[in-house]
Structure formats: C-alpha cells, structure tokens
C-alpha cells in the first residue's frame, strides 16, 4: 500500500474510532447516586415504613428495582464512602470516621470511580456531605483547599466538608469556602478549645437541642458541634436550609450538563443528626425530627427526578438510591428519636443499627431506577456497594487501571435486575467483621470492650468472645447463634474472612 492510501485509511479508521466514542458517550446513561446518610432499610415506604411517608422514593421503587439484600461496605460513613469511590475495602487504609479537619484519605495518584467515569466522557460532580478528609495536613480554610474532590475526580463540588455535627459549619464550592469575608478568617480546632463561637457545655441556654458530652463544642445556629471554631460569620450555613441549598446545587449541576453524560454523587446530609428539619417539614411525620427529616429527604429525591424529567433525561438516567450505613435513633442530640419511634422499624426486620455488625448495620434500602434498561421489580441478589465501581466501569466499557479498585467485582447484570446472581462472599465492616455466604452470616469474635460512647447510644455493635453464625433464611433477625451445629460452615467462612483481611 502506498503512503497516500495508508494516510487515507488511517484517517477513515481514526474518524470511525472518534465516532464510536462519541456515539457510545451519547448513549451512556447519566448516573446519579443519591446517597442518604444513616437511612435504615425499613425507613422507606416500600420497605415497610410506618411513621413517615416517602412517596417520591416509593415512585422510584415502583418504576425501578428494589434490592433487598444490597449492602454498603461498612456500618459507618467514611469507610462506606471510601469503598464506594475507590472500590477498595476501608480496612486496607484504616478508613474510619474522620474529624472535620482530617486530611484527604483517598490516594489521588490512583484511579477512582469518578476518574474512571471522566475517562468515559462523563462530567462529574459531588453535592453534599464529603467526610473523606481534605488537604494534606493542617487546613487553611481561608484559601482554596489543595486536595479534595477535584483531585479525586470530580469536576464540580459543593460540600458539607465533614458532617453536620462537626465544624467548620460552612459550605465549600470547588474547595473554597462560600461567602467568606477575608477580614473574618476561619480557624478550626479539634481537641484544644479556642475562643470564638461559644461552647455548648458552657451555654446550654443557646441550644435548640441538648447533646451528649461529645457534641458540646462550638455553638452555631443554636446547635453545638464536635470541635471548635472561630470566624467566618458571613459564611456560616443554616442547617434548616440544607435541603434547599443542596437540591438547588444538584439541580444546577444537572441543568448545566444536559448535553453530555454526567455523574452526580448527591450526598445528602439527611437523615444524620443534628436532625433540624426545615419548617416546611416539621411535623410531617409522626416520629418527630427523625421522621421529619426522612420526609424532607424524600422531597429532595423528588426534586431531582423532577429536574431530570424536565430535561427529558429521566428515561436514560441510572439513579441508584441508597444509604451509607444503618439507622440510629439517639446519636448525640436529644431529638426524641427513641421515644417517638412507635411501631416504625428503622432497620426493618433486621437486627442492629449504625455501628453494628448485625445485618441492619449494612443492609441498605437500595433502589435502582433506569426506565430505559431496568424493569420494575425486586431482587434479593447479595450485592455490595464496593462493586459499583467495577460494575459501572463495565456499563461504560472502561478498563480499570492497575492497582485501582482491588475489591470491586462486576455485578452489573444484578444491579440492573438482569440476573439474580449475587456475591459468593460479602464482607461487612463494622467494629468487628461480618461475612455473608448465601444464607449464612458469620461474625468474627472480638474481645475488646465496647467503647463507652457506643454503649450510651443503646447500640449492640456485635462484639462477642465466641464466633456467631446465623442462618438468615430461617432467622433473618439473627437471634439464634447456631455456630456449634455447623462446624464445617464456620471453618470455610473463618478461612475466607481471614484470607480477605490478611490481604492488607
Ligand atoms: C461519631 C459521633 C456521631 C456521628 C458519627 C459520624 C461521637 C460520640 N459520635 O463519632 O455523633 O457524628 O461519628 O456519623 O462523637 S457518620 O454517619 O458520619 O459515620
Ligand atoms: Ca452515615
């Protein structure tokens, strides 16, 4: 072939390549992960909620797939979020609940879920709770924070930096404090007390809700937080405005990205404490503040679907609605969650809660909605959020970089309801470890005493000195420890869990 022909064919093949990328990008669905904070399996209507109505979530479920055995990877927030975005178990990096000034725990040299989607042509955004750390050491809140969502793979970010109950109580947009007056700089401190906003333990008269001893630092908007803070008065958030501020930002992101596929990680503050519902939602449930913020969260979900519908995008948007860890009643603030719960079962029929290795700690309300591809129904496939990385990579036909997502497996078909096949083994991280194998649930013994602050929350983290084994088919509420009757199963599961944990 002479040079002229070679050039000719190269150009044709090049254009065909470009065309097919453009074509597949055009057809790739938008992806929205709605990540609710501390929402339990039984907190939504379709899973049996009694004390609160969730019409918007129920509509997603009615037109989508309700997964009844899908798990976050851990019974607390930071570890679950870490696994979701990295496809790696949290224990590998000792990812644990972080303070508000902790450094970023995601390795920015490695590929992440949003980086993988960027490579597939997606515009990526995160709106809401972050809680994965920021910067690399002491944070200067008065400048752009050098390490954060951008370096993790998000083109756009609007954040609650850590949690609603931790300072600093300001939003960050693209890693800069929103509305900061440079003449009133922000200082944040964990551990040593600094003058600035009054301290909760000294000024109970300022509080909207009383707290446990751990939440008695800076009082901001009548709520005392973990940690101390000074300055940044003009930038302070108003907790009651969270649902509006966050849905506005999420909607803006959608409005600006209608032309090409986007990935939105919409990470709500609700239903974490402090549970301070907007007046629009106060008394919208029969369960007090905890129920009211569930109704508020449901409203946020409805706003997102409305915006997608407005742009004609709902049909080809994959929405994954789920939560980061199980439910909790009393978790630091006196909001009468325990007293007002009535017959409502936050964890459904499952035992445990947030912080606990029993099923309710990680078995999450999970709904997948994608009218173009997902048929309405339910599925009991055993699934883990750690697999979303690999599964979504398969969806958008991307290879995963070497060293990335070591624990993530492709279960795309099951996430979309096209197969019932679940994980053979599924790790549940809490303050000890659980392992699922089909109907079996194994819990690793742990001798360590239960931390005091967990005892105060009336939570059973599942620590026992002996092995625990439950047959979830016969005993979904993990009441009868049958390990003595099944030594072979115990042996297999023990070996498997040790093999996983030894890979560190
Ligand atoms: C705990 C807090 C709890 C909550 C949790 C984070 C204490 C005693 N308890 O350390 O109130 O903020 O962290 O929740 O400080 S999570 O959903 O982000 O994991
Ligand atoms: Ca949480």
Question: pLDDT by residue (tens digit) across 91-115?
Answer: 999 899 999 999 999 999 999 999 9
H or E stretch at 66? strand 65-67
From 400, 421, 442, the end of a domain falls on: 421
Question: pLDDT by residue (tens digit) across 46-74?
Answer: 999 999 999 999 999 999 999 999 999 99
Dihedral pair phi/psi, residue 236, rounded to 5° = -60, 140
Rounded to an integer, the average pLDDT of 17-45 is 80
From 421, 444, 477, the end of a domain falls on: 421
* pLDDT band at residue 452 using 50, 70 and 90 as cut-offs: confident
Dihedral pair phi/psi, residue 491, rounded to 5° = -60, -45
Q: Check if the beta carbon of residue 35 is closer than 8 Å to that of residue 267.
A: yes
CA atoms within 13 A on the CB side of 121: 18
Q: Are residues 241 and 198 in the same domain?
A: no
Separation of CA 408 and ligand 2 centre (Å): 21
Query: Is the pLDDT confidence value at 182 over 60?
Result: yes
Please provide the average confidence, as pLDDT, over all residues in the chain. Answer: 94
* Pairing relationship of beta strands 156-160 and 172-173 according to DSSP bridges: antiparallel
Question: pLDDT by residue (tens digit) across 212-268?
Answer: 999 999 999 999 999 999 999 999 999 999 999 999 999 999 999 999 999 999 999
Q: Are residues 377 and 239 in the same domain?
A: yes
Query: Is the pLDDT confidence value at 25 over 70?
Result: no
Residue 3 lies in a domain: no
Residue whose Cα lies nearest atom 15 of ligand 1: it is 214
Residue 22 lies in a domain: no
Q: Are residues 283 and 332 in the same domain?
A: yes
Alpha-carbon gap, residue 258 to 8, rounded angstroms = 35
Alpha-carbon gap, residue 170 to 163, rounded angstroms = 11
Is residue 131 lining ligand 1, measured as CB closer than 6 Å?
yes
Q: Are residues 49 and 112 in the same domain?
A: yes
Query: Is the pLDDT confidence value at 17 over 80?
Result: no
Residue whose Cα lies nearest atom 17 of ligand 1: it is 77
Residue 2 lies in a domain: no
Residue 38 lies in a domain: yes
Q: Are residues 174 and 125 in the same domain?
A: yes
Q: Is 287 helix (H, G, I), strand (E, B) or coil?
A: coil
Q: Are residues 38 and 167 in the same domain?
A: yes
Report percent pLDDT > 70 for the chain.
Answer: 95
Helix residue spans in 272-382 (DSSP H): 289-310, 337-340
Is residue 453 lining ligand 1, measured as CB closer than 6 Å?
yes
Separation of CA 76 and ligand 1 centre (Å): 8
User: Cα torsion at 334, 166, 358, 462 (round to 10°)?
Assistant: -80
Q: Which ligand is nearest to the CA of 99?
A: 1
Q: Are residues 306 and 389 in the same domain?
A: yes
Q: Decide which of 382 and 453 is more confident.
A: 382
Residue 169 lies in a domain: yes
* pLDDT band at residue 16 using 50, 70 and 90 as cut-offs: very low
Ligand 1 probe mutation, 77, 133, 200, 327, most atoms within 8 A of CB:
77
* pLDDT band at residue 5 using 50, 70 and 90 as cut-offs: low
Question: pLDDT by residue (tens digit) across 463-488?
Answer: 999 999 999 999 999 999 999 999 99
Q: Say what the pTM is.
A: 0.94
Q: Are residues 317 and 383 in the same domain?
A: yes
Domain carrying residue 306: 30-186+232-421
Rounded to an integer, the average pLDDT of 321-339 is 96
Residue 463 lies in a domain: yes
Residue whose Cα lies nearest atom 16 of ligand 1: it is 77
Residue 471 lies in a domain: yes
Q: Which ligand is nearest to the CA of 453?
A: 1
How high is the pLDDT of residue 449? 81
Q: Are residues 238 and 216 in the same domain?
A: no
* pLDDT band at residue 23 using 50, 70 and 90 as cut-offs: very low
How high is the pLDDT of residue 2? 52
Q: Are residues 112 and 254 in the same domain?
A: yes
From 421, 439, 457, the end of a domain falls on: 421
Number of domains observed in the structure of the chain: 3
How high is the pLDDT of residue 8? 52
Is residue 331 lining ligand 1, measured as CB closer than 6 Å?
yes
CATH of the domain at 317: 3.40.720.10
Rounded to an integer, the average pLDDT of 32-46 is 98
Is residue 40 lining ligand 1, measured as CB closer than 6 Å?
no
* pLDDT band at residue 26 using 50, 70 and 90 as cut-offs: low
How high is the pLDDT of residue 9? 52
Q: Are residues 210 and 83 in the same domain?
A: no
Q: Are residues 170 and 199 in the same domain?
A: no
Tokens of 275: 């549970």
Alpha-carbon gap, residue 11 to 2, rounded angstroms = 15
Residue 426 lies in a domain: no
Query: Is the pLDDT confidence value at 4 over 60?
Result: no
Query: Is the pLDDT confidence value at 207 over 50?
Result: yes
Q: Check if the beta carbon of residue 416 is closer than 8 Å to that of residue 67.
A: no
How high is the pLDDT of residue 15? 45
CATH of the domain at 476: 3.30.1120.10
Question: pLDDT by residue (tens digit) across 410-450?
Answer: 999 999 999 999 999 999 999 999 999 999 999 999 987 88
Question: pLDDT by residue (tens digit) across 292-321?
Answer: 999 999 999 999 999 999 999 999 999 999
């Amino acid at each position: 072939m002479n040079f002229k022909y070679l050039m000719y064919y190269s150009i044709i093949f090049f254009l065909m390549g470009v065309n097919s990328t453009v074509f597949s990008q055009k057809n790739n669905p938008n992806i929205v992960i709605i990540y609710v904070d501390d929402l339990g399996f039984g907190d939504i209507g379709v899973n049996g909620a009694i004390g609160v109505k969730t019409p918007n979530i129920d509509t997603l479920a009615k037109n989508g797939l309700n997964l009844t055995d899908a798990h976050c990877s851990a019974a607390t927030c930071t570890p679950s979020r870490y696994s979701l975005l990295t496809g790696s178990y949290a224990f590998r990096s000792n990812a644990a609940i972080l303070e508000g000034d902790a450094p970023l725990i995601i390795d920015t040299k490695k590929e992440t879920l949003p980086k993988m989607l960027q490579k597939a042509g997606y515009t990526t955004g995160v709106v809401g709770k972050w809680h994965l750390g920021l910067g690399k050491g002491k944070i200067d809140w008065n400048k752009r924070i050098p390490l954060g969502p951008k370096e993790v793979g998000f083109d756009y970010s609007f954040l609650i930096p850590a949690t609603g109950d931790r300072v600093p109580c300001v939003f960050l947009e693209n890693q800069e404090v929103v509305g900061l007056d440079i003449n009133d700089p922000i200082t944040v401190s964990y551990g040593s007390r600094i003058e600035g906003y009054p301290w909760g333990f000294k000024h109970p008269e300022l509080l909207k809700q009383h707290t446990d001893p751990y939440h008695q630092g800076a009082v901001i908007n009548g709520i005392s937080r973990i940690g101390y803070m000074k300055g940044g008065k003009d930038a302070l958030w108003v907790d009651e405005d969270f649902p509006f501020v966050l849905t506005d930002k999420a909607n803006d992101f959608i409005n600006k990205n209608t032309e090409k596929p986007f990935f939105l990680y919409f990470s709500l503050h609700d239903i974490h404490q402090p549970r301070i519902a907007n007046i629009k939602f106060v008394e919208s449930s029969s369960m007090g503040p905890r129920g009211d913020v569930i109704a508020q969260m449901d409203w946020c979900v409805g706003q997102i679907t409305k915006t997608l519908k407005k742009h004609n995008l709902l049909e080809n948007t994959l929405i994954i609605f789920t939560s980061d860890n199980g439910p909790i009643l009393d978790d630091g603030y006196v909001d009468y969650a325990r007293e007002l719960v009535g017959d409502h079962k936050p964890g459904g029929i499952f035992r445990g809660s947030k912080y606990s290795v029993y099923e309710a700690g990680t078995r999450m309300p999970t709904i997948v909605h994608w009218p173009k591809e997902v048929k309405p129904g339910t599925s009991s496939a055993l699934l883990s959020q750690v697999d979303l990385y690999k599964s979504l990579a398969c969806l958008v036909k991307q290879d995963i970089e070497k060293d990335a997502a070591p624990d993530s497996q492709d279960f795309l078909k099951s996430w979309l309801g096209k197969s019932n096949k679940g994980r053979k083994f599924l790790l549940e991280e809490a303050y000890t470890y659980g392992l699922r194998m089909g109907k079996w649930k194994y819990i690793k013994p742990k001798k360590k005493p239960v931390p005091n602050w967990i005892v105060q929350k009336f939570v059973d983290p599942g620590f026992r000195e002996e092995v625990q084994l439950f047959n979830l088919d016969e005993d979904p509420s993990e009441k009868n420890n049958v390990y003595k009757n099944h030594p072979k199963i115990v042996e297999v599961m023990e070996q498997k869990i040790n093999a996983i944990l030894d890979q560190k």
